[in-house]
Structure formats: structure tokens, C-alpha cells
Chain A
Amino acid sequence: MSFDINMQYDRLYRYCYYHTHNRILAQDIVQEAFTRYMERYGSLNEKNAVPYLYVIARNLCIDHYRRQGMQAEKHVQEKTYEQEQTIGLTESEDNTLITKLSVQRALLRLSEEERELLLLISVNEVSVREAGMILGISRFAVYRRLRLAQKHFRTELGKEGIDGDY
């Protein structure tokens, strides 16, 4: 099984950026995750390379939170607040930004666990098996929670006026 290192780097960066909202820190964590993985396993062509990289990155992000004494949710809400202030000036001009705001509000009403699942599986295209390994839960639990997260997301999108087959 070949490992697309460029793609996985970007996806891992996306994951770390979501948790840290800091470009330098996110990139450092991604590179530290790769470094630690390579020291331990030597090859990225292992079957479990992707989940192991995420687990290392995840633990590094948690360490960062502990040091900073902050929670992920606070980061996300702070980011949204900033964007609303900026976007407020151009809201009427750009439909994409309006949709983005709506999606943000919808996602903020989901739990952190639901957002994490959507990020891992729906966005970063991690498999259910791999997501189970990353989150430390069974595949069945992943399926069940993902279904609930998707349903919850659809409901919240509906409240924001974004309807459709999602």
C-alpha cells in the first residue's frame, strides 16, 4: 500500500491546525509526528501509518492545550468570533462567506467529538478502522457516532437554512 506523503502531510496539518489555530505550531506538530513515527517504525508503508501519525499528533495537540490551559472549543469560538467581525463588513457581497458562517454556526452546535469524527472521516478521508484506532473506540462505535454526527450536522444545517442531500 503506497503512502502519499504530500497528501497525508496536508491532511495532518489540517487536523493540527483545527486543534491549534496556529500555523507554526500546527506545522511543527505535523513534522514532530512524522519524525517520531519514523524513529519508531522506519517506514511509512506500514498498514497503520496513518492512524499512528494521527495519534501522535493528537497527543501533541493535547499537550499543547494542557500547557496553555485552554480547550479546543474556546479556540474554535474565538476564531469564529474574529471571522464574524471581519465578515460582517462583506456579508452581503459574498455568498460563500455567508455559507461558511452558517456552516460554522451549525458545526459549533455539534459536540467536539462529533466535529472530530467529521474532520477525520468526512474531510480527511480516514477509514472507519483507522478512526477507531485514533479515537480508541471500536469500529461499531465509530459507525454509530458518525451516523449521529452526520444527522446532527444535517439538522443544524437545516436550521441555518442550508437544505439539501448531505
Chain B
Amino acid sequence: MTTEAKNRELLLLFFEPDEKPDPAKKEAFLKNVMTGQITRATKKTLDQMLLTQIKYIRKTAWLAALMILLAAVLITKGSPDSVLQISALTPLLAFVTEIETRRSYAYGMAELEMTTAFSLRSIRYARFMILGLFDLAVLSGISLLIRKYIAISAMLTLSCLLLPFLLTMTGALLLERTAFGRSHPYGSGVLALLIAAGTEILLLPAGPLAMPLNKTLIMQDYAWVLEIATVLMLVTVIALFCTNVKQEAEMTTLWN
């Protein structure tokens, strides 16, 4: 007999219950578990969950994206020379998105949401996907606007918009992992403002990346750098989000 087996035998002298579980009660219960009759909650489909999440996402999150779109429209009409500066608005969109996806955990609503039929993890993924797709639609709309005034490729336009957005998301997701970030959900707002300011300075008409309209742009020569950077940042954001959600799921106490 191995050491572990000997050890276990000794410990069982103490830990083995004096009374076994009621066999009839056990059998009836396990039969219910195996036949799926155990749940008290109503079964919900994935569609219903997604719809619920859409309703649960605050109106401010949708409005923020639409306001950025509106700002883009006004800038392109009023000041076409500064059209690429719209990129400076995307960090704010990223901040609103990030805050909304982590709202449950940040504001202690995890325990409430975990009483639903779906895990907190699925809820966060659903919210991330919904808001991510919405933001992508908004940014694509903005990129179409920009391309009316600047003759650059669609991919490059989207990269210009996405890079500050993804940079903010990366910073916010990294901040979320820290104790400071978890206790100060709006801390990523400061980060968003800094990145927005930095983007604004870089893209000022007189700045180092000045973009005169209808002329050959220096950036077009290095478009591939920006595009690759965008793809890499997108992968980083998704990976960070998934690991953050996994860590949260492990850390969250299962409430009674």
C-alpha cells in the first residue's frame, strides 16, 4: 500500500461520516440531475440573453458613440482639413465601451447577475461583442466620411481611427488587472483623455503628421506599419479581455 493510501485510510477513520446519506433521497436526486430536471430557473436561449444585454447596456454608451459620429459629421462639414483629427475622439469611445463591459464586476452587481441562468463570463463576452460590433459600425461610418475628403485607402483610414481606440482599450484592460484599476473604474477615463490629447497633437494641421488634403501623404508610404499595428493591437485587446474575464470568473465568490 502506498504512503498516500495509508494516509488516506487513517484520515478516513476520522473524516468518514458516521451516517451515510439517505440512499433513496440520493438516488432520486441524482436521477433528476442526470435527466436535467434540476433547474429552478427558466431556460433562456442565447438570443434572449443577447437581447437582455442590449437592453441592459446603458443609453449613455449608445449615445456616446452616436455623439462621436455626429462630431465627425460636423468636423468634416466645417473643417475638412482637420478631418483626421476625428481619431482623437475614438479613445473616449473606447473608454465608454470598456466601462460598460465591466459594469457588473466594477459596481458589485456580479452577484445579482450570477443568479441568472448565464454565467458572468458569458454576459461580459456578450456585452463586449455587442458594443464592439456597434463601435466598429460607428467607426466604419466615420471612415467613410473621412474618405470623402482624403484619398487614402479604407484600411488606412480605419487604422487611423482604430489605433487610438485600441491603445485606450489596451491600457484600460491592463489597468483593470490592478488593484487600483479595480477600485477606480473611471481611472481609464484619464488614460483616454491623455491618448486623445496625444492623438490631437500629432494630427494638428501644423503638427508632425500634418495631412494636407488631396496631396501625397507621408503616412501612405508607411500604411502597412499602421495596418499591422492595428491588427496586432486588436489581437492584444481580445486576448487581454479574455484573460481578464477568466480571472474575474475565478476571483468572484459564489454567493449564496
Interface residues of A (CB under 8 A from B): 5-6, 9-10, 13-14, 17-18, 23-24, 26-27, 30-31, 34-36, 38-42, 44, 52, 55-56, 59-60, 63, 96, 99-100, 103-104, 107, 118-119, 122-123, 133, 150, 157, 162, 164-166
User: In the assembled complex, which residues on chain A have CB atoms less than 8 Å from the CB atom of B47?
Assistant: none
Residues A59 and B11 in contact in the complex (CB < 8 Å), given A13-B17, A40-B114:
no
Q: In the complex, are the beta carbons of B15 and A14 less than 8 A apart?
A: yes
User: In the assembled complex, which residues on chain A have CB atoms less than 8 Å from the CB atom of B10?
Assistant: 99, 103, 157, 162, 166
30 A-B pairs in the complex with CB atoms less than 8 angstroms apart:
A9-B26, A13-B17, A17-B17, A18-B15, A24-B22, A26-B17, A26-B21, A27-B26, A35-B40, A36-B254, A40-B117, A42-B39, A42-B117, A52-B254, A55-B254, A56-B256, A59-B253, A59-B255, A60-B256, A96-B13, A99-B13, A104-B14, A118-B15, A119-B15, A122-B7, A122-B8, A123-B11, A133-B250, A162-B10, A166-B7
Q: Contacting chain A: which of B29-37, B96-104, B140-148, B163-171?
A: B29-37
Interface residues of B (CB under 8 A from A): 3-4, 6-8, 10-17, 19-22, 25-26, 29-30, 33-34, 38-41, 114, 117, 119, 250, 253-256
Main secondary structure of the interface of A (DSSP, over half): helix
Contact of A123 among B3, B12, B256 (CB under 8 A): B12
A129–B11 Cα distance when bound, in Å, is 21
Q: In the complex, are the beta carbons of B41 and A39 less than 8 A apart?
A: yes
Contact of A59 among B15, B34, B256 (CB under 8 A): B256
